Amino acid sequence: MTMYPLLDTIHSPDQLRKLDRKQLTQLADELRAFLIDSVSQTGGHLSSNLGVVELTIALHYVFNTPDDRLVWDVGHQTYPHKILTGRRAAMTGLRKPNGIAGFPRRSESPYDTFGTGHSSTSISAALGMAIAAQQAGLERRSVAIIGDGAMTAGMAFEALNNAGAMDANLLVILNDNDMSISPNVGALNNYLAKLLSGRFYTTMRRSSEKVLGVMPPVLEFAKRAEEHVKGMMTPGTLFEEFGFNYIGPIDGHDIDVLVATLQNIRKLKGPQFLHVATQKGRGYQPAEENPGRYHGVGKFNPTDGSAVAASGNKTYTQIFGEWLVDMASQDERLIGVTPAMCDGSGLNAFAERYPERFFDVGIAEQHALTFAAGMACDGLKPVVAIYSTFLQRAYDQLIHDIALQNLPVMFAIDRAGLVGADGPTHAGSFDLSYMRCIPNMVIMTPSDENECRQMLFTAFQHDGPTAVRYPRGGGPGVTVQKSMQVLPIGKGIVTREGSKVAILAFGSMLTPAMQAAERLGASVANMRFVKPLDIDLIRQLAATHELLVTVEENAIQGGAGAAVMEALQGLSADVETLCLGLPDVFIEHGVHETMLAECGLNADGIVAAIEKKLT
């Protein structure tokens, strides 16, 4: 007997839409059970997906997908969507090499209407699709599903402001999982939502506006009365001011209410806003009790939620978190800032120890940087903990608000280089390229755990903008010294003396470079700094070797290797060169070590590239 009798019959939304509405609750139970079992075997995002099971079913039940467009924000809430759109069997390969992605991918399915990985893009994209339908004279509907966390970003409000001024058929669904399902999201609100989304109310409202339009004072009184009544019962005044018809909040786990409300809204014209309250981790007690821990998980035991044992090496994120607490105890000017990545960036212990000096600004990368700049102007020493891929979103602030004013803001850049299962949307492939062209920046690349700690200390002491970029996961397993020392800025060190070939390694590439050098009899330099470069060391190596090879876990274009080439040109050095790094493609998700090997950035790849160059 199959474990999922109803889910087993659903291979597309067309089949879902043939179900009797009374069957949807059973389908939700089966889908939730399948999610827990599936993610326990592959790892991935769990809490957020458990919270949108009923909403996902209702959306595909009511809307004619994929003709009607569903645009999911961030994308870590799309596992139920993938399962219902023909990819249930493929979930065994989730985030694995040649398997399906953990986020929506347009190339993966026609139901994935927009590729997402960064937050707060859904409303803009869905609005664009709504306008495209309007231009083509189509009745197609566009729906943006955005979380309450993603609503903290300025881009979401820019899109709302623009959409409210248009007459496009756009529905924005706010998936509010920070709000408990309390009495205000109960029978009364569910009833009001169905009433306010119904044709009778909408027709009456528009007709009244036409009639009262000839009497402006009466129309103004009617509008104020309506806003007053709705304001007492719903928190939608803000969204009404943007020009949306606000409906909700409703219980996002009551599938009957969801379907009825969405069916009404689908018939309405113009911009609509539906507020849905959900619970992260719904239906799985460990995730309900600790949704943060189960947001992104490795393999786990579904019976009790216990994690499958992983590598024992300390991660660079942990090294940073420990340094931050130690440094804060020595300097009260230190302020920790993160854009909604407290846990992922290793700030939990700091936040608990120094809550008055910890600021999680939400998904608002641009604000995070300028906020830090303002503090730096008045004597504080902000440390911005941010993923490499998310720093891209605040590039203008990095240049104009921090570097141009030469402010002492320190960046702890996590997830630099390839990130394995999360794939190209989360890879930190470009930070060396986009940072090193900015004046006043000091950029450091630690090669091991201890060097990371010393570089963090060095960066914090510097009176100007600094960045320490380190990869996801652990390093080579070097013992970390609790004492801290300032490293000489712009100075590398020779870690192996050889002949003929010199490998200039940046950051995480030192270990494979050393392994390759042992086989080649080559010299190795741990360059440490991308900016400023150690020009004297480059001059010395160029004068004593026939071939200089740069190795970095960053895009070759404009990266550390390109910086070395520029330096050699300035030195008029007559030496052969070879730059190794990430190729000019977006690299798909997979196992980190395998991905590096495929890019030629392991010891075998480095040896092969050098031997080919020498022949």
pLDDT at 224: 55
The full length of the chain comes to 615
**What are the tens digits of pLDDT across the range 120-179?**
999 999 999 999 999 999 999 999 999 888 888 889 999 999 998 888 999 999 998 864
- For the stretch 288-312, pLDDT in tens is 988 878 888 888 888 888 876 555 6
Residue with tokens 């050393």, as numbered in its chain: 514
For the chain, how far is it from start to end, CA to CA, in angstroms? 64
* Residue 608: band (very low, low, confident or very high) from pLDDT cuts 50, 70, 90: very high
The tens digit of pLDDT for each residue in 472-495 reads 999 999 999 999 999 999 999 999
Q: pLDDT per residue over 378-410, tens digit each? A: 999 999 999 999 999 999 999 999 999 999 999
User: How far is the C-alpha of 465 from the C-alpha of 34, rounded, in Å?
Assistant: 48
Question: CA 394 → CA 170, 364, 371, 382, 399, distances in Å?
Answer: 28, 9, 12, 16, 9
Q: Quick check: 411 and 369 in contact, CB under 8 A?
A: no
pLDDT of residue 194: 56
How far is it, in rounded angstroms, from Cα 486 to Cα 446? 13
Which pLDDT does position 306 carry in this prediction?
83
| More confident: 208 or 92 | 92
Residues 484 and 460 sit within 8 Å (Cβ to Cβ): no
* Type of residue numbered 338: T
User: pLDDT band at 266, cuts 50/70/90?
Assistant: very high
CA gap 187, 193 in Å, rounded: 10
Global pTM value:
0.86
Catalytic one of 280, 381, 415, 436: 280
More confident residue, 350 or 238: 350
* E strand or H helix that includes residue 201: helix 199-212
What six digits make up the tokens of 410? 């320190």
- Rg from Cα positions in the chain: 27
- The reported pLDDT for the residue numbered 200 is 47
pLDDT at 135: 94
Distance CA 459, CA 436 (A): 15
Neighbours of 457 (CB within 10 A): 19
Assess contact for 361 and 390: CB atoms under 8 A: no
Mean pLDDT score, 561-574: 96
Burial of 108: CB neighbours in 10 Å, binned 0-12, 13-18, 19+: middle
Q: Report whether pLDDT(17) > 80.
A: yes
pLDDT of residue 197: 59
Q: Indicate the pLDDT class of residue 195, thresholds 50, 70 and 90.
A: low
> Do residues 408 and 440 lie in contact, with contact meaning Cβ atoms separated by under 8 Å?
no
Rounded CA gap, 187 and 178, in Å?
A: 20
Active-site residue, 280 included: yes
Asked if omega into 532 is within 30° of 0 (cis), the reply is yes
H-type alpha helices, 470-534: 510-520
Please name the residue that has the structure tokens 């039940």. 61
For residue 222, is pLDDT > 90?
no
Cβ-contact 128, 120 below 8 angstroms? no
* 139 catalytic per annotation: no
Average pLDDT over every residue of 3-16: 94
17, two tokens: 């839409």
C-alpha 278/C-alpha 148 separation (Å) is 10
Decide: 300 and 41 in contact? Cβ < 8 Å.
Answer: no
* Rounded average pLDDT over 64-79: 92
Tokens of 116: 């997402």
Per-residue confidence at 212, pLDDT binned at 50, 70, 90? very low
* Residue of 365, 451, 552, 553 with catalytic role: 365
Report the percentage of the chain scoring pLDDT > 90: 76
* Residue from 393, 453, 496, 528 carrying the catalytic annotation: 393
Q: Is the pLDDT of residue 284 over 60?
A: yes
pLDDT at 185 over 50: no
Distance CA 168, CA 465 (A): 44
DSSP state string for 59-107: HHHHS-TTTSEEEESSSTT-HHHHIIIIISGGGGGTTSTTS--SS--TT
